[in-house]
Amino acid sequence: MRQIVLDTETTGLNPRTGDRIIEVGCIELMNRRPTGNIFHQYVNPGRDSDPGALAVHGLTTDFLRDKPPFADIVDALCDFVNGAEILIHNAAFDVAFLDEELARLERPKWNQHCDSVVDTLAMARELHPGKRNSLDSLCERYGVSNAHRTLHGALLDAELLAEVYLAMTRGQESLVIDIAPRPVVRIGTWVPIDRSALIVVRADDDETAAHRATLDAIARESRKQSVWATLEVGAD
């Protein structure tokens, strides 16, 4: 199974008001193992980043000035993710930006360029309800070192998310249930039982009286007939 762990950095929080993608990072997993194949590209958004976003990623307008526009990287990006399951933390955010960039180029929406999109934030919330499930929190929870993460970066965050995802889904190497019939192991030889030779031990009068007294006490406490008394009536 081919999976791509993806992250983006953007100029702000809202693609519909003109915020743009400025970095895309992708890590390839094959059968839950990193292959070493990556896609990483800085993008010139043609505008400044909001101060809040700039404080998060640190990618200045001057740094991005000589980088290609999204239109120049879209083919390579779509080729890289083609046919793969895409893993994104808070997928709605990144997919909204990707869809807006693709719409500007009159391209199909993001989900038409890949097999499917999995939101790892939704997975984490299901596994850890009521707890913080940011990428930093998950790194701490699963023992993934993020000491080198002073600023957000798409490729770095994709690498961290890949490690977190593998730790979070450890033990789920296969979702295929083994329904093949298992061999029956027989030990010894079956011998028919002669029921006439069985010894049946029945309760004597004192034991029967003690049993009924116990059932009566249960009925008084619960204010209804016990299950055992009901079964005895049915057997009479």
Tell me the pLDDT tens digit for each residue of 107-122. 999 999 999 999 999 9
pLDDT (tens digit per residue) in 160-197? 999 999 999 986 543 333 333 333 334 344 455 555 55
Q: How far apart are CA 133 and CA 121, in angstroms?
A: 7
Rounded to a whole number, what is the distance in angstroms from the first to the last CA of the chain? Answer: 63
Sequence ranges of the domains in the chain: 2-168, 195-235
DSSP sequence for 114-179: SSEEEEHHHHHHHHSTTS--SHHHHHHHHT---TT-SS--HHHHHHHHHHHHHHHTTT-S------
At 11, list the tokens.
């100029």
Fill in the amino acid letter for 199.
I
According to DSSP, the β-strands at 33-42 and 85-88 are: unpaired
Level-2 CATH architecture, domain 2-168: 2-Layer Sandwich (3.30)
pTM: 0.72
Catalytic amino acids?
152
